[in-house]
Amino acid sequence: MILGSGRVSPNEEKWRHDNRWEAEEVTIAAVGVGGEQNLGAVVPAGLTRRITQITVRHEGSNDTVVTLLISGGATKWTYKVPTGMSRTIPLGNGREFAAAEQSAVQTSDVTGGNTYVSASGVEA
Protein backbone atom coordinates (compact mmCIF):
# COMPACT_ATOMS: atom_id res chain seq x y z
CA MET A 1 0.00 0.00 0.00
CA ILE A 2 1.39 3.39 -0.99
CA LEU A 3 1.00 6.10 1.62
CA GLY A 4 1.36 9.86 1.32
CA SER A 5 4.77 11.15 0.21
CA GLY A 6 5.46 7.86 -1.63
CA ARG A 7 5.98 5.83 1.57
CA VAL A 8 5.01 2.17 1.46
CA SER A 9 3.38 0.35 4.37
CA PRO A 10 4.86 -3.11 5.03
CA ASN A 11 1.67 -4.25 6.82
CA GLU A 12 -1.48 -2.97 5.13
CA GLU A 13 -3.91 -4.42 7.68
CA LYS A 14 -2.06 -2.83 10.63
CA TRP A 15 -1.88 0.48 8.78
CA ARG A 16 -5.66 0.41 8.11
CA HIS A 17 -6.34 -0.40 11.77
CA ASP A 18 -3.99 2.31 13.07
CA ASN A 19 -5.52 4.94 10.77
CA ARG A 20 -9.19 3.91 10.93
CA TRP A 21 -11.70 6.73 10.76
CA GLU A 22 -15.40 6.50 11.61
CA ALA A 23 -18.22 9.02 11.58
CA GLU A 24 -21.07 8.45 13.98
CA GLU A 25 -24.51 8.00 12.47
CA VAL A 26 -26.26 11.22 11.45
CA THR A 27 -29.99 11.66 11.02
CA ILE A 28 -31.52 13.46 8.08
CA ALA A 29 -35.13 14.33 8.80
CA ALA A 30 -36.01 16.99 6.27
CA VAL A 31 -39.64 16.33 5.33
CA GLY A 32 -40.39 17.62 1.84
CA VAL A 33 -36.89 18.99 1.18
CA GLY A 34 -33.35 17.72 0.90
CA GLY A 35 -31.24 17.61 4.04
CA GLU A 36 -27.50 17.65 4.70
CA GLN A 37 -25.36 16.64 7.70
CA ASN A 38 -21.58 16.72 8.23
CA LEU A 39 -19.78 13.41 8.69
CA GLY A 40 -17.28 13.88 11.51
CA ALA A 41 -14.99 16.87 11.88
CA VAL A 42 -13.12 18.78 9.21
CA VAL A 43 -10.08 16.86 7.92
CA PRO A 44 -7.09 18.03 10.02
CA ALA A 45 -4.12 19.83 8.44
CA GLY A 46 -1.57 17.50 6.88
CA LEU A 47 -4.01 14.57 6.62
CA THR A 48 -6.27 13.02 3.99
CA ARG A 49 -9.51 11.16 4.70
CA ARG A 50 -10.63 8.33 2.44
CA ILE A 51 -14.22 7.16 3.01
CA THR A 52 -14.44 3.51 2.00
CA GLN A 53 -17.86 2.50 3.31
CA ILE A 54 -21.27 4.12 3.78
CA THR A 55 -24.11 2.61 5.82
CA VAL A 56 -27.64 3.83 5.05
CA ARG A 57 -30.91 3.16 6.88
CA HIS A 58 -33.74 4.77 4.96
CA GLU A 59 -37.05 4.65 6.78
CA GLY A 60 -38.83 7.11 4.52
CA SER A 61 -41.94 6.21 2.56
CA ASN A 62 -40.38 7.37 -0.72
CA ASP A 63 -37.17 6.71 -2.65
CA THR A 64 -34.33 9.13 -1.93
CA VAL A 65 -30.87 9.87 -3.30
CA VAL A 66 -27.91 9.84 -0.88
CA THR A 67 -24.95 11.97 -1.92
CA LEU A 68 -21.47 12.04 -0.34
CA LEU A 69 -19.87 15.43 -0.90
CA ILE A 70 -17.55 18.12 0.31
CA SER A 71 -19.79 20.31 2.45
CA GLY A 72 -20.98 23.10 0.16
CA GLY A 73 -18.90 21.70 -2.71
CA ALA A 74 -18.15 18.89 -5.10
CA THR A 75 -20.06 15.60 -5.18
CA LYS A 76 -17.94 12.52 -4.46
CA TRP A 77 -20.58 9.75 -4.80
CA THR A 78 -24.34 9.34 -5.33
CA TYR A 79 -26.64 6.37 -4.68
CA LYS A 80 -30.41 5.93 -5.17
CA VAL A 81 -31.98 4.43 -2.05
CA PRO A 82 -35.31 2.60 -2.35
CA THR A 83 -38.06 3.02 0.24
CA GLY A 84 -37.33 1.25 3.53
CA MET A 85 -33.83 0.04 2.55
CA SER A 86 -30.91 -0.58 4.89
CA ARG A 87 -27.56 -1.36 3.34
CA THR A 88 -23.81 -1.09 3.86
CA ILE A 89 -22.21 0.05 0.61
CA PRO A 90 -18.48 -0.45 -0.05
CA LEU A 91 -16.81 2.35 -2.01
CA GLY A 92 -13.84 0.36 -3.31
CA ASN A 93 -10.67 2.41 -2.80
CA GLY A 94 -12.84 5.13 -1.30
CA ARG A 95 -13.58 8.78 -1.90
CA GLU A 96 -10.84 11.21 -0.87
CA PHE A 97 -11.19 14.38 1.19
CA ALA A 98 -8.18 16.67 1.59
CA ALA A 99 -7.05 18.65 4.64
CA ALA A 100 -9.51 21.42 5.62
CA GLU A 101 -12.37 19.77 3.69
CA GLN A 102 -15.58 18.77 5.51
CA SER A 103 -17.12 15.48 4.41
CA ALA A 104 -20.91 15.57 4.40
CA VAL A 105 -23.89 13.53 3.29
CA GLN A 106 -27.17 14.77 1.92
CA THR A 107 -30.41 13.25 0.75
CA SER A 108 -33.10 14.38 -1.58
CA ASP A 109 -36.66 14.63 -0.22
CA VAL A 110 -37.33 12.52 2.90
CA THR A 111 -41.02 11.80 3.47
CA GLY A 112 -42.70 9.63 6.08
CA GLY A 113 -39.54 8.80 8.06
CA ASN A 114 -35.87 9.59 8.53
CA THR A 115 -32.69 8.61 6.71
CA TYR A 116 -29.69 7.59 8.85
CA VAL A 117 -26.14 7.53 7.47
CA SER A 118 -22.76 6.59 8.91
CA ALA A 119 -19.38 6.25 7.23
CA SER A 120 -15.95 4.75 7.79
CA GLY A 121 -12.56 4.66 6.14
CA VAL A 122 -9.01 5.80 6.87
CA GLU A 123 -7.41 9.12 7.76
CA ALA A 124 -3.66 9.58 7.55
The pLDDT score that the predictor gives to residue 14 is 83
Q: Which residues of 76-114 are buried (b: 16+ CB within 10 A; e: fewer)?
A: beeeebeeeeeeeeebeebbebeeebbbbbbbbebeebb
113, 59 in Cβ contact below 8 A? yes
Distances 2 to 43, 76, 117, 124 between C-alpha atoms, Å: 20, 22, 29, 12
pTM summary value? 0.84
At 65-94, the pLDDT tens digits run: 999 999 988 999 999 999 989 999 999 999
117, 38 in Cβ contact below 8 A? no
Mean per-residue pLDDT for 53-62?
92
CA distance 108 to 104: 14
Mean per-residue pLDDT for 21-45?
87
Higher-pLDDT residue of 120, 29: 120
Q: Count other C-beta atoms under 10 Å from residue 73's C-beta.
A: 10
The pLDDT score that the predictor gives to residue 62 is 87
- Could you tell me the domains of the chain? 21-123 (2.60.120.730)
Please, what is the average pLDDT of the chain?
A: 87
The pLDDT score that the predictor gives to residue 7 is 54
Give the residue ranges of DSSP H helices in 8-121: 12-18
